[in-house]
Amino acid sequence: MRALVKAKAEPGLWLEEVPEPEPGPGEALVQVLQTGICGTDLHILNWDEWARTHVSVPLVVGHEFVGRVVEVGAGVDRVAVGDLVSGEGHLVCGRCRNCMAGRRHLCAHTQGVGINRAGAFADHLTLPAGNLWKHPADINLDVATIFDPFGNAVHTALAFPVVNEDVLITGAGPIGLMAAAVVRHAGARHVVITDVNPYRLELARKVGVTAAVDVSRTTLPQVQADLGMKEGFDVGLEMSGHPSALPAMVDSMSHGGRIAVLGLASGPISIDWSRVVLSMLTIQGIYGRQMYETWYAMSVLVEEGLDISPVVTHRFPVTEYEQAFATLRDGNCGKVILDWRQDPPAGSRPRKDGLG
């Protein structure tokens, strides 16, 4: 089968023929239809310090996918051949303290699909059946493809109550955009998102934010004044990992404000802890998705009309993966999808500007 492989310990990915996997007991074999490219995949392509530390070569990479079950191993009854599925990319031990207490997203022995075991950038992959999430047959395939990062957005966006609250989101990447759509759908009052990329700020306007702010030109106090806000933001969602984002967010919060942090910074960040203490702020780190409460919430949100499809702006056949990764690296995009179908349906390749 075809697979995108980190074949050598150097920058690059290679489209190669590799043996097709076979499902073991409790596993299912999935024919991959589409995959989403994640920032993690870009780290692996670039072979940066994080990738060199965490990834062993050779490895089939990728973890965001939608596909169809084509075979099941012994003992599998949760999914069946023909089911349309995405997958939870964190495989947990099941025996540590957190797993035994039902907090599987906190397992200290987690293995990652496309990082520690063969990933989804392939014609087929195997996963434990318990890690597969069945979709309704009529779901938008683009939406199903990005359920993994959508889960990150939902986990972060709903970490604190947002009904009637003023929400600040720093970082208008795909997960920040989806989080903005979630908090708006969940009943937030003002939803303000910040970035410096005009393309992504325009995408933010398309998902219905109150204000999409270029912080290189406009300050947060100016935005608050324009919106008639008497106090600071009630909830903050830090999605960017930029070293200036969290300190600016801390300074913009109301007393008792709550901050959920998903963005990973490349180094230590200095914040004003006296402000955190005196304003009684809560700062909560977020990682991955709650298994499987977040997946349930995602499905309900989509069933109830939340449309995250505008976040997908580019699609490429897998043979054009180099152009797809170049598009992601350029930054003038939302979510970038690779199509693994040998004969994609006519007209299945959407516009590449994301705005028209």
Class of residue 175 by CB neighbours under 10 A (exposed 0-12, middle 13-18, buried 19+)? buried
Any binding-site annotation on 96? yes
Any binding-site annotation on 107? yes
What does the alpha-carbon distance between residue 315 and residue 334 come to, in Å, rounded to a whole number? Answer: 11
- The DSSP result for 65-112, as a single string, is EEEEEEEE-TT--SS-TT-EEEE--EE--S-SHHHHTT-GGG-TT-EE
Any binding-site annotation on 200? yes
Any binding-site annotation on 73? no
Q: Is 255 a catalytic residue?
A: no
Any binding-site annotation on 93? yes
Any binding-site annotation on 296? no
A 10 A CB-CB count for 7 gives: 17
The SS3 call for residue 229 is coil
Any binding-site annotation on 287? yes
3-state secondary structure 47-59: CCHHHHHHCCCCE
Q: Is 40 a catalytic residue?
A: yes
Any binding-site annotation on 333? no
Any binding-site annotation on 175? yes
What does the alpha-carbon distance between residue 41 and residue 29 come to, in Å, rounded to a whole number? Answer: 22
- Do residues 316 and 36 touch, judged by C-beta distance below 8 A? no
Any binding-site annotation on 263? yes
What are the contacts of 7-13 at 24+ separation with CB within 8 A?
Answer: 7/57, 7/58, 8/57, 8/58, 9/47, 9/52, 9/57, 10/47, 11/45, 11/46, 11/47, 12/45, 12/47, 13/44, 13/45, 13/61, 13/321, 13/325
Catalytic residue among 40, 110, 194, 210: 40
Any binding-site annotation on 105? no
Q: What are phi and psi of 335, to 5 degrees?
A: -90, 135
Active site residues: 40, 43
Binding-site positions for NAD(+) read 175, 195, 200, 262-264, 286-287
Binding-site positions for Zn(2+) read 38, 63-64, 93, 96, 99, 107
Binding-site positions read 38, 63-64, 93, 96, 99, 107, 175, 195, 200, 262-264, 286-287
